[in-house]
């Protein structure tokens, strides 16, 4: 079994964690003193290139919902 990458949304940003499963990733972050808002596998998600928030989908050029509203564009490459 190999480690996978997880994204954890925390109070002040986003963490990228490598762990064998989601519970281990959550436990690691909490042991480091972070309060987890949500945690997802990196499969099917990416981080917004502008603000670093978690975005559903594999196209890494797509902005998060907040950045889309702010800039009026869907893609980072359009900025």
- Helices within the chain (DSSP H only): 22-31, 65-71
Domain map of the chain by residue range?
4-78
- 78: helix, strand or coil: helix
- Per-residue pLDDT tens listing for the chain (79 residues): 899 999 999 988 999 999 999 999 999 999 999 999 999 999 999 999 999 999 999 999 999 999 999 999 999 999 9
Predicted pLDDT at 1: 81
Predicted pLDDT at 4: 96
Contacts of 65 (CB under 8 A, 6+ apart): none
Residue 76: exposed, middle, or buried by beta-carbon count in 10 A (0-12, 13-18, 19+)? middle
* pTM summary value: 0.88
């Amino acid at each position: 079994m190999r480690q996978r990458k997880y994204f954890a949304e925390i109070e002040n940003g986003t963490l990228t964690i490598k762990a064998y499963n989601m519970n281990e990733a959550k436990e690691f972050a909490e042991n480091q003193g972070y309060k987890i808002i949500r945690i997802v596998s990196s499969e099917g998600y990416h981080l917004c290139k502008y603000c670093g928030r978690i975005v559903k989908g594999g196209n890494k050029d797509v902005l998060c919902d907040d950045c889309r509203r702010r800039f009026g564009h869907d893609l980072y490459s359009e900025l």
